[in-house]
């Protein structure tokens, strides 16, 4: 290997990024995914999805890498993946788990208490049957059940679209319970004091503890709950949204690479361009 060539790590959001926001397909990203596979580049999923959902997508993508669930609620590392294990992790089944979130039951208690006081009542996944979640998100019933297996984050929505003042009021009320409100693609999320970036930074340090080579990190996302992920990597990539816009609250000083395409097509475009730029001799 050329001594100046750096290894590459990719951290990616799923919905609206690697996955199409409507049908959850990643077919348009297959050329870039094949390049990533050929070059042995770790592809780390960082999503608001649950552990069960991420295991499902790890299978569909045919990868067995660490992943970050529920907006940074926990890091799951396959047992034996690293020689030097993540500090503070504990063995659970086939994973080493490093928790950053608070238990779902505590989140639900705060959610229910605040929801009763708000003028625009939110509805959480804990209030719904799998069939209702399936209808809202265009998921199969089986996938909706995976989305119900929440551990660190409550996904919710407002039946009537709230204005900014109402969102800020909800945010303030939740914060009094030690909970944070973040915005994803289709849903709001309620969780403890954690985010994707904090977990990604911890995982990057673990890679540094295990790799002797220098490496470059790429992060891809499309929503405000991806901001901390984009801030944690060397090359942040912001995906265009389906309506043609970009997430407005991404600060200008964060020099993001913006895609001209949306979803998996934009993901494919960005990864192929970056791999050619960073490692043109790899083929």
39 in Cβ contact with 154 (< 8 Å): no
What are 117's strand-pairing partners?
none
Reported as half-sphere exposure (CB side, CA atoms, 13 A), residue 176 has a value of 7
**Continuous H helices in the chain:** 30-38, 51-61, 104-115, 130-137, 141-148, 164-175, 196-210, 227-232, 263-278
DSSP-based three-state secondary structure for 260: strand
C-alpha 95, offset from chain centre: 19
Distances (CA, A) of 161 to 10, 116, 165: 35, 17, 12
Terminal C-alpha separation, the chain: 13
Contact 191, 153 (CB under 8 A): yes
Catalytic residue among 13, 20, 222, 226: 13
Q: From CA 124, how far away is CA 111, in angstroms rounded?
A: 8
- Report whether 100 contacts 191 (CB < 8 A): no
- Residue 249: how many CB atoms within 10 A of its CB? 9
* Known active-site residue 13: yes
Instruction: Please give the structure tokens belonging to residue 20.
Output: 């199409």
| Active site (catalytic) residues | 13
């Amino acid at each position: 290997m050329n001594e100046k060539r750096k290894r590459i790590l990719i951290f990616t959001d799923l919905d609206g990024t690697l996955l199409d926001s409507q049908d959850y397909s990643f077919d348009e990203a297959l050329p870039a995914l094949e390049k990533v596979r050929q070059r042995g580049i770790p592809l780390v999923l960082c999503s608001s999805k649950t552990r069960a959902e991420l295991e499902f997508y790890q299978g569909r993508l045919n990868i067995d890498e660490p992943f970050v669930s529920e907006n940074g609620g926990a890091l799951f590392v396959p047992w034996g993946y690293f020689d030097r294990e993540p500090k503070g992790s504990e063995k659970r089944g086939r994973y080493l788990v490093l928790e950053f979130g608070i238990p779902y039951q505590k989140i639900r208690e705060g959610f229910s208490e605040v929801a009763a006081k708000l003028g625009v009542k939110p509805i959480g996944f804990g209030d719904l049957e799998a069939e209702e979640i399936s209808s809202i998100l265009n998921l199969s019933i089986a996938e909706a059940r995976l989305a119900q297996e929440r551990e660190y984050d409550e996904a919710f929505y407002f039946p009537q679209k709230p204005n900014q003042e109402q969102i800020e009021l909800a945010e303030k009320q939740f914060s009094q319970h030690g909970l944070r409100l973040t915005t994803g693609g289709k849903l709001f999320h309620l969780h403890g004091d954690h985010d994707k970036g904090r977990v990604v930074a911890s995982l990057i340090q673990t890679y540094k503890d295990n790799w002797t080579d220098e490496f470059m990190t790429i992060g891809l996302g499309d929503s405000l709950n991806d901001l901390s992920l984009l801030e944690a990597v060397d090359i942040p990539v912001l995906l265009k949204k389906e309506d043609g816009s970009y997430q407005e609250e991404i600060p200008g000083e964060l020099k993001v690479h913006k895609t001209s395409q949306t979803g998996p097509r934009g993901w494919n475009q960005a990864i192929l361009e970056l791999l050619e730029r960073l490692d043109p001799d790899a083929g």
